[in-house]
Structure 1
Amino acid sequence: MEEEEEEGRQVWSWGAGTEGQLATGNLQDELFPSNVSHYFSLPISHIACGGAHAIALTRDGKVMTWGRGKSGQLGHGNWENSAHPKHVKFLENFVICNAAAGWNHSGFVSDTGLLFTCGDGSFGQLGHGDYNSQCFPVEVKFFGSRHVLKISCGMRHSLVLLKDYARAPATNSYSAVDGHLYTWGRGFNRAKHNQVPQLLSTSLKFSQVSLGWNHALLLTDLGEVFMLGGNHHGKLSGSESAPMEQGRPLNCATCDKTHEANTVPSMQRVAALEGINVVQVATGSEHSAIVSESGVVMTWGWGEHGQLGLGNTCDQTIPQVVHLDRGQLRCRKVEVYCGSGFTFVSNTALNANTSDLSLPS
């Protein structure tokens, strides 16, 4: 069974591709999904997409990167782009279990809790105590013997989750804790900026949060999708406003005072997804994607580079189905990953007679 799963894993990409970020070998945008499975030498378990580069983790903890590398973010020891996935040789002696791609930097976490970063460091986002860029992964010594579990890379900052669940500070973030959502940083839709985390007061419980430039997608524990912001390319038509109370302030860890609540952006339910049980949400800079329980991928928002996978460059205000050529295989698990203006999808597929999960054509 394991061999069938690995052989059946497929990978598609589409959208902006002029810097090699689609792993097709062609430096051009792709309006339809392209199957790029054959460019990966080993079965992959996870993909992280950044500004114009991407990272893939293999099932045995190896790392491949491709796309824009002019800031050193690919970790290959040079400042060059790569149109095909290449192994990161500097990490071959480690088992990498988590990775993230920012605008021009990358982060890698080993199974022993070590953190490595490379790429643009001009804003201190690499965590090495300076503003230097690195073209190969360098261990972040700041955490000492503490065990890093995960890293998340933003446009010019990074955030890590430690094994003892302490969190490094970030400047513009959304976080779901025990089903509750906290927001801080720059406000959407003219909402005030929050210097202190604010609890989004709602009876809904959230299981996933994904943050774009001007919007955030929220997935509830019931499989419903809501959106914060989105008055740019990600604006929805036919959306429903959800009632919310004012954001509740938290005690400030810096001055030990309680701050007044700031105005929070309105939250909208994605009405077009009513009746669809969603299991994953993802956001690019200004486009969105979801995966349904039955493995269907849907996209909407900014479409200038074909990142919606619909065969055109139009923006979409209603989620649209992306048609993937799965051949004769049926899918067990589908995952979608969004970069700034491009999208990847991977799945683990089994022969039709070994799975009872069917997908629409």
Structure 2
Amino acid sequence: MDAAISAAHEAPPAVVLVSAGASHSVALLAGNVLCTWGRGEDGQLGHGDAEDRLVPTVISGFDAPGITSVICGADHTTAYSEDEHQVYSWGWGDFGRLGHGNSTDVFTPQPVKALQGIKIKQLACGDSHCLAVTMAGEVLSWGRNQNGQLGLGTTEDSLLPQTIQAFVGISVKMIAAGAEHTAAVTEDGEIYGWGWGRYGNLGLGDRNDRFVPEKVSSVEMVLVACGWRHTITVSSSGSLYTYGWSKYGQLGHGDFEDHLVPHKVEALKDSSTSQISGGWRHTMALTSDGKLYGWGWNKFGQVGAGDNADHCSPAQVNFPEEQKVAQVACGWRHTLAFTEKKNVFAWGRGTSGQLGHGEIVDRNTPVMIDALSPDGPGCKKLESSAAIPFAAKIWVSPSERYALVPDEKVAKPGDVSARGNGADASVPENDVKRMRVSS
């Protein structure tokens, strides 16, 4: 770790992957270097404190070897060490989303003991729940479960990872987690959906919740991603499909209508989609020729099209020197990407420093993160956390820390006010968090 940081004097280690949460971001760099930045209120940055970071900061003291995956939930983070066969998690612990057997916040990476020794193929984190696919194709889930998003047949939260029995005997290839729903693709190309389904985001043709995975009738799929309340899939031929909530155009069909089953995005029918990511109310798709497209809610510029208007059809995101994109990741209101040149860009909401530019300014076009980019004009040594244990967290009442967000109403047919760029009373203007609302 020390050698890798020292090498950053001349050029930062190459980026391996990026991920984005509600208001924080992470990057895994070559040499097992893990950087985080943005909001740190709940320990989601892993630096041992509750401070925000405006630039990428190396997590000091986290020396787990062979980190191959780092995934953000809304206000927590998970990582996987392939060498140790160990999952780590940290951040906001409510509802058991960290998998440690309790609901305690954690400010530095801690091993998920229940998963020790299990070979993990993929991790997925939603707003308050997580899942893991093992190399054997089994699926485990934990965290919040008020709408059945854990797929366990109940609505009880789980403080520890549990096996989804519905997938026993079915080899799962990939999973994705939204706010309160989950989706999976099997090795046979079948799509499953479960959890909260009010907007058709399960793809099952209705608006009902499901407490266990249910198969979606569709073409053969190979990729799946979830936005807050919509789902994105890619077929074996590279065609892009979306379904669920589309009040802000996040489905990309040229309108603001919900779709209850997978619906092809015709605007990209001549392109082969290679990667997808879903934000709170926006969507990003990367094509096989390295072009990036975005659409949906764009109040903070998170679509990256150079404006702040919602887009109901894919808009191409432009990069300096027409650099081809290698990976994209959506946060709630911001987006990260790195190019084939290993330059990292961020855009959208910047109020907590989640863009990594050293400021708290929103951006509606991609802006390079100098500290992580070999072409960055201000390239310099990466900052590191002090690695001082966070001794005690001062308790603040929920009424002071969290904002209640009213449950959204399903739009009635013909309700024009619920379409497009509309004022949504339940969309927080700032980045306050949500808490469980008892019905």
TM-score (norm 1): 0.79
Distance 2:330 2:261 in 1: 24
Give the secondary-structure state (helix, strand or coil) at the position aligned to 1:182: strand
1:115 CA drift (Å): 1.2
Name the counterpart of 1:173.
231
Distance 2:95 2:64 in 1: 25
Distance 2:135 2:127 in 1: 25
- Structure 2: runs of 5+ lacking an equivalent: 5-12, 14-28, 195-200, 202-229, 250-254, 373-378, 383-430, 432-439
Name the counterpart of 1:65.
89
Distance 1:276 1:150 in 2: 28
Query: Matches of residues 112-191 of structure 1 in structure 2 within 5 Å?
Result: 112-169=136-193, 171=201, 172-177=230-235, 178-187=237-246, 188-189=248-249, 191=256
Q: Is the 8 A contact 1:288 1:299 kept in 2?
A: yes
Name the counterpart of 2:50.
27
Name the counterpart of 1:49.
72
Q: Is the 8 A contact 2:47 2:60 kept in 1?
A: no
Distance 1:236 1:78 in 2: 39
1:42 CA drift (Å): 2.3
Range with greater deviation from structure 2 (158-167 or 269-278)? 269-278
Give the secondary-structure state (helix, strand or coil) at the position aligned to 2:61: helix
Distance 2:114 2:71 in 1: 18
Range with greater deviation from structure 2 (41-50 or 292-301)? 41-50
Give the secondary-structure state (helix, strand or coil) at the position aligned to 1:195: strand
AA at the equivalent of 1:191: F
TM-score (norm 2): 0.65
Please tell me whether residue 208 in structure 1 is matched to residue 275 in structure 2: yes
1:274 CA drift (Å): 5.7
Q: Superposition RMSD on alpha carbons, in Å?
A: 2.5
Name the counterpart of 2:335.
288
Please, which of 284, 295, 299 is the counterpart of residue 217 of structure 1?
284
Name the counterpart of 2:363.
316
Q: Is the 8 A contact 2:64 2:81 kept in 1?
A: no
Distance 1:238 1:160 in 2: 33
Range with greater deviation from structure 2 (53-62 or 123-132)? 53-62
Query: Against the structure 1 CA distance between its residues 68 and 287, is the aligned structure 2 distance closer, same or farther, given a 3 Å change threshold?
Result: same
Name the counterpart of 1:277.
324
Distance 1:196 1:95 in 2: 33
- Structure 1: runs of 5+ lacking an equivalent: 242-263, 330-340, 342-361
Give the secondary-structure state (helix, strand or coil) at the position aligned to 2:166: helix
Range with greater deviation from structure 2 (12-21 or 319-328)? 319-328
1:146 CA drift (Å): 1.4
Distance 1:101 1:89 in 2: 18
Q: Is the 8 A contact 2:122 2:132 kept in 1?
A: yes
Give the secondary-structure state (helix, strand or coil) at the position aligned to 1:25: coil
1:236 CA drift (Å): 4.0
Distance 1:105 1:71 in 2: 8
1:312 CA drift (Å): 1.2
Query: Matches of residues 330-341 of structure 1 in structure 2 within 5 Å?
Result: none
Name the counterpart of 2:436.
none
1:195 CA drift (Å): 1.5
1:153-205 Cα offsets, whole Å, 9 max, x none, are 11101112222221102612111222211111111346111112211123222
Q: Is the 8 A contact 2:294 2:303 kept in 1?
A: no
1:26 CA drift (Å): 1.3
Distance 2:168 2:272 in 1: 35
Query: Against the structure 1 CA distance between its residues 145 and 304, is the aligned structure 2 distance closer, same or farther, given a 3 Å change threshold?
Result: same
Query: Against the structure 1 CA distance between its residues 235 and 151, is the aligned structure 2 distance closer, same or farther, given a 3 Å change threshold?
Result: closer
Give the secondary-structure state (helix, strand or coil) at the position aligned to 1:24: coil
1:49-92 Cα offsets, whole Å, 9 max, x none, are 11111110112331111111111011111110110111111111
AA at the equivalent of 1:131: T
User: How many equivalent pairs are there?
Assistant: 305
Query: Matches of residues 82-93 of structure 1 in structure 2 within 5 Å?
Result: 82-93=106-117
Q: Which has the higher contact order (CA 8 A, sep 6+)?
A: 1
Query: Against the structure 1 CA distance between its residues 46 and 134, is the aligned structure 2 distance closer, same or farther, given a 3 Å change threshold?
Result: same
1:286-329 Cα offsets, whole Å, 9 max, x none, are 10111110110000001111100011111101111102268799
Give the secondary-structure state (helix, strand or coil) at the position aligned to 1:112: coil
The percent identity for this pair of structures is: 30
